[in-house]
């Protein structure tokens, strides 16, 4: 006869194997929730003086916290094993993760737990996938337009206090205008 209820903890089967993974999943879920609430995802075109084109794409995951309460950001940096902290003049500390492969790796870990920034995460993951496999100098015009579309999607979904470059302006930066 199968018992359908538990009378005490002694009635339960003990956990088998290594249970450390559950702690890791809890940490990952917490960080994803923090990103959903107090984080941002960015894909930008930045000026760069050391290349022939003079520009580059930049992918960033950023988590924000009041500097008086920055310890959770230190913990997240330790759990993720990547990123750097910077204190802004306005009393906010940021945990920033830059780089296509780094952002892609972190987002792939967080995506199962993301609830509110699914659109931004998806767009940044798609862009990072392209940028991890193709050097900027080898991107086709079609790939560049695809990346601009990802920038616009992320910008549209993000809260912003100042206006961002429109699609046409981003195309002009990449010499994609007819």
Q: How far apart are CA 133 and CA 123, in angstroms?
A: 16
Count of domains for the chain: 1
What are 17-64's pLDDT values in tens digits?
A: 444 456 789 999 999 999 999 999 999 998 877 767 788 999 999 999
Question: Strands (DSSP E) along the chain, which ranges?
Answer: 39-47, 55-66, 84-87, 92-98
| Cα distances (Å, whole numbers) of residue 17 to 13, 20, 24 | 12, 9, 15
Other C-beta atoms lying within 10 Å of the C-beta of residue 114? 19
Q: What's the pLDDT at 165?
A: 81
Is residue 60 in some structural domain? Answer: yes
Query: How does the average pLDDT of the chain come out, rounded?
Result: 86
Q: Which CATH number do you get for residue 79?
A: 3.10.28.10
Q: Is 128 contained in some domain?
A: yes
pLDDT tens digits along 98-127: 999 999 999 999 999 999 999 999 999 999
CB 58 within 8 Å of CB 103: no
Domain-located, residue 98: yes
Task: State whether residue 85 is helix, strand or coil.
Answer: strand
Alpha carbon distance 118, 39 (integer Å): 13
d(CA 108, CA 92): 27
What's residue 35's pLDDT? 96
So what's the pLDDT on residue 41? 96
In a domain, 124, yes or no: yes
- Give a yes or no: residue 18 inside a domain: no
Cβ neighbour number for residue 147 with a 10 Å cutoff: 22
| 159, part of any domain | yes
pLDDT at 74 over 80: yes
Residues of the domain holding 84: 27-173
pTM above 0.95, yes or no: no
Assigned domain for 1 exists:
no
């Amino acid at each position: 006869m199968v018992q359908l209820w538990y009378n005490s903890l002694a009635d339960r089967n003990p956990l088998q194997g290594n249970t450390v993974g559950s702690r890791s999943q809890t940490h990952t879920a917490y960080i994803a929730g923090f990103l959903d609430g107090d984080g941002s995802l960015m894909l930008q075109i930045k000026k760069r003086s050391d290349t022939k084109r003079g520009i580059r794409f930049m992918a960033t995951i950023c988590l924000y916290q009041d500097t008086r309460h920055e310890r959770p950001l230190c913990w997240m940096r330790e759990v993720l094993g990547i990123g750097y902290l910077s204190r802004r003049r306005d009393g906010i500390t940021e945990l920033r993760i830059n780089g296509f492969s780094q952002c892609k790796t972190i987002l792939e870990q967080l995506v199962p737990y993301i609830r509110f920034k699914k659109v931004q995460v998806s767009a940044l993951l798609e862009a990072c996938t392209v940028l991890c496999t193709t050097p900027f100098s080898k991107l086709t015009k079609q790939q560049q337009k695809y990346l601009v579309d990802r920038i616009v999607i992320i910008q549209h979904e993000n809260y912003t206090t100042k206006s961002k470059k429109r699609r046409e302006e981003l195309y002009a930066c990449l010499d994609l205008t007819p």
